[in-house]
Structure 1
Amino acid sequence: MNRTYLTLVAALTLALPSFGQQHSEQNHSKYVWPKDAPVKEKLDQWQDKKFGLLMHWGTYSQWGIVESWSLCPEDEGWCERRGPYSANYYDYKRAYENIRTEFNPVKFNPERWAEAAKKGGMKYMVFTTKHHDGFCMFDTKLTDYKITDPKTAFAKNPRSNITKEVLDAFRKQDFMVGTYFSKPDWHIDSYWKPYWPAKDRNVNYDPKKYPDEWKKFADFTNGQIQELMTDYGKVDILWLDGGWVRPFNTIDSTISWQRSIPYNQDIDMARIAREARQKQPGLLVVDRTVTGEYENYVTPEHQIPDHYMPIPWETCMTMGDSWSYIPKENFKSSRKLVQILVDIVAKNGNLLLNVAPSPEGDWHDEAYSRLAEIGKWLDVNGESIYGTKPLAPYRQDKWAFTKKGDVTYVSYLPAEGENQLPANVTVPIAPGKTLTLLGTKPSLKWKKAGNGATVAIPEAVRKQLTNQPVWVFKLS
Structure 2
Amino acid sequence: MLSKKTKALFFSSLLLSSAFFSQAHNVSEGYQKPTDPLVVQNLENWQDLKFGLFMHWGTYSQWGIVESWSLCPEDESWTQRKPEHGKSYYEYVKNYENLQTTFNPVQFNPEKWAEAAKKAGMKYVVFTTKHHDGFAMFDTQQSDYKITSSKTPFSKNPKADVTKEIFNTFRNSGFKIGAYFSKPDWHSNDYWWSYFPPKDRNVNYDPKKYPERWNSFKNFTFNQLNEITSNYGKIDILWLDGGWVRPFNTIDPNVEWQRTINVEQDIDMDKIGTMVRKNQPGIIVVDRTVPGKWENYVTPEQAVPEKPLSIPWESCITMGDSFSYVPNDNYKSSQKIIETLIKIIARGGNYLMNIAPGPNGDYDPIVYERLKEISAWMDKNQSAVFATRSISPYHDGSFYYTKSKDGKTINIFHLDEKVNYLAPSTLNFIIPENFKPKSLKVLGLSHKIDWKQNGNSIEINLRKERNQLKYSTVIQITQ
State the TM-score, normalized to the length of structure 2: 0.94
Q: Which residue in the other structure is 1:387 paired with?
A: 387
Secondary structure at 1:127 match in 2: strand
Native 8 Å contact 2:25 2:300 kept in 1: no
Q: Which of these residues, 467, 472, 475, is aligned with residue 474 of structure 2?
A: 472
Q: Which of these residues, 448, 451, 460, is aligned with residue 455 of structure 1?
A: 460
After TM superposition, the structure 1 = structure 2 runs for residues 61-76 of structure 1, keeping only pairs within 5 Å, are 61-76=61-76
CA–CA separation in structure 2 for the residues paired with 1:348 and 1:157: 42
Secondary structure at 1:393 match in 2: strand
Structure 1 residue 16 displacement after superposition: 8.0
Structure 1 residue 442 displacement after superposition: 2.9
CA–CA separation in structure 2 for the residues paired with 1:29 and 1:442: 49
Structure 1 residue 443 displacement after superposition: 3.0
After TM superposition, the structure 1 = structure 2 runs for residues 11-410 of structure 1, keeping only pairs within 5 Å, are 14-15=13-14, 24-404=24-404, 405=406, 406-410=408-412
Q: Which amino acid aligns with 2:475?
A: F
Q: Deviations along 1:314-368, whole A, 9 cap, x unmatched? A: 0001000011111111000000000100100000000000000010100001111
Residues 450 and 415 of structure 1, relative CA distance in 2, 3 Å threshold: farther
Residues 417 and 166 of structure 1, relative CA distance in 2, 3 Å threshold: closer
CA–CA separation in structure 1 for the residues paired with 2:221 and 2:285: 15
Q: Which residue in the other structure is 1:438 paired with?
A: 443
* Greater CA drift, 209-218 or 443-452: 443-452
Q: Which residue in the other structure is 1:9 paired with?
A: none
Q: Deviations along 1:87-136, whole A, 9 cap, x unmatched? A: 20000000100001111000011111111110111000000000000000
Q: Which of these residues, 408, 411, 414, is aligned with residue 412 of structure 1?
A: 414
Unaligned runs of 5+ in 2: 6-10, 17-22
Structure 1 residue 312 displacement after superposition: 0.3
CA–CA separation in structure 2 for the residues paired with 1:367 and 1:220: 36
CA–CA separation in structure 1 for the residues paired with 2:12 and 2:437: 33
Native 8 Å contact 1:400 1:412 kept in 2: yes
Residues 196 and 13 of structure 1, relative CA distance in 2, 3 Å threshold: closer
Q: Which amino acid aligns with 2:439?
A: T
CA–CA separation in structure 2 for the residues paired with 1:118 and 1:367: 14
Q: Deviations along 1:31-58, whole A, 9 cap, x unmatched? A: 1100000000100010000000000000
CA–CA separation in structure 2 for the residues paired with 1:134 and 1:328: 26
CA–CA separation in structure 1 for the residues paired with 2:284 and 2:312: 11
CA–CA separation in structure 2 for the residues paired with 1:417 and 1:240: 36
Native 8 Å contact 2:391 2:403 kept in 1: yes
Secondary structure at 1:43 match in 2: helix
Q: Which residue in the other structure is 1:8 paired with?
A: none
Q: Which amino acid aligns with 2:450?
A: K
Q: Deviations along 1:439-469, whole A, 9 cap, x unmatched? A: 123332222234211112122x22332xx11
Q: Which amino acid aligns with 2:253?
A: S
CA–CA separation in structure 2 for the residues paired with 1:105 and 1:358: 8
Number of residue-to-residue matches in the alignment: 462
CA–CA separation in structure 1 for the residues paired with 2:28 and 2:15: 21
Unaligned runs of 5+ in 1: 6-11, 18-22
CA–CA separation in structure 2 for the residues paired with 1:3 and 1:419: 31
Q: Which residue in the other structure is 1:20 paired with?
A: none
Q: Which residue in the other structure is 2:8 paired with?
A: none
Q: Deviations along 1:60-101, whole A, 9 cap, x unmatched? A: 001111100000011101110004233200000001000011
Cα RMSD over matched residues?
A: 1.7
Native 8 Å contact 2:68 2:131 kept in 1: yes
Secondary structure at 1:154 match in 2: helix
Secondary structure at 2:180 match in 1: strand
Native 8 Å contact 1:13 1:305 kept in 2: no
State the TM-score, normalized to the length of structure 1: 0.94
Q: Which amino acid aligns with 1:464?
A: Q
CA–CA separation in structure 1 for the residues paired with 2:413 and 2:450: 18
Native 8 Å contact 1:16 1:302 kept in 2: no
Q: Which amino acid aligns with 1:149?
A: S
Native 8 Å contact 1:50 1:385 kept in 2: yes
